[in-house]
Amino acid sequence: MAHSKDHYIKIWGVLIVLLIISVIGPEIGVLWITLITAFGIAGVKAYLVIVHFMHLPLDKKFCTYLLVTCMAFMLLFFAFVAPDIMNHEGRNWVNTAAKHEVKCANLAHDKKIEKDACKKMTYPEVVAFSKSLKAPKGAKRPAPKAPKTPKH
């Protein structure tokens, strides 16, 4: 079933309008509007491309089953992996880079250390420095050590 040139231009126009809505939606700042415009409209755009540009309904049913199966496995993979990777710690790993960034940002926000100086320190040094700030009054607080520079 061949479509006229006007048909493709209309679909392209709809895709452009949906793109504009999906860009403006998150600017409102309401979470459910952001989710609807980001994921709901993305699904509608994907459907329009599949049906009108890829002509998937005209293909053999095997291609449709293959596409649906791949999408199901992708969603299943995401469902099992997402809870672990969206945290700073998992069952078998620790994201020390993220912890380091958060700790440096908190120290810089509290004006305890410059962010650049903090970033040059290793994570254990940042933790030690942070603990030294919480030392009881009268206890000697060590100054942060300058990072070691490699010799050339």
- Digit-coded pLDDT (tens) for 74-93: 889 888 877 766 666 767 77
**How far is Cα of residue 87 from the mean position of the Cα atoms in its chain?**
12
Q: What is the mean pLDDT of residues 20-27?
A: 87
| pLDDT of residue 15 exceeding 60 | yes
pLDDT in tens, 94-134: 778 888 888 888 888 888 888 888 888 888 888 888 888 87
pTM for this predicted structure = 0.43
Q: Which residues pair with 89 in a beta bridge?
A: 94
What is the C-alpha to C-alpha distance for residues 93 and 84, in angstroms, rounded to an integer? Answer: 9
Cα angle value 52/68/55 (rounded, 5°): 20
Give the relative orientation of helices 123-133 and 96-109 as an angle to the nearest 10 degrees. 40
pLDDT category at 57 given cuts 50, 70, 90 is low
